[in-house]
Amino acid sequence: MASSKTREITITQSKGAFSILKKGLFSRKDFDFEGLSALRRLLSNEKARLLHVLKTQKPGSIYLLAKKLGRNFKTVNDDIRLLERFGFIRLIEEKTKKRIRHRPELVAETIVINLRV
């Protein structure tokens, strides 16, 4: 695993609605989320399990991760892509015979959430 990093999410309130902004690497246009519902999706129990398995068992591919979680490959892949967009994980391309597989790797171990009202 790479060095431990912190990811920061800022939730701002404007005209009676919340919106999520990511500090640092991405601009506002990179996110198509709507406030707190997006935060709930990002911090679901299934994603917490996914992150835990990545940290403790280090599966060699998204397929193996889905098997360890007992979940459908497509839903795990969707969760991986969302977590990758927020910078919590990264995908490492590895060539095996004639195929390229993507090994998910945990990048961030801490999430800081700021709420501006």
pLDDT in tens, 65-74: 999 999 999 9
Pick the CATH number of 5-116 from 1.10.10.10, 2.30.110.10, 3.90.380.10, 3.40.50.10490: 1.10.10.10
Please tell me whether the overall predicted TM-score, pTM, comes out greater than 0.75 for this model. no
| All structural domains of the chain with their residue ranges | 5-116
Contact residues for 83 (Cβ-Cβ < 8 A; gap 6+): 42, 47, 50, 51, 89
pLDDT in tens, 19-49: 555 444 444 444 444 556 667 777 788 988 9
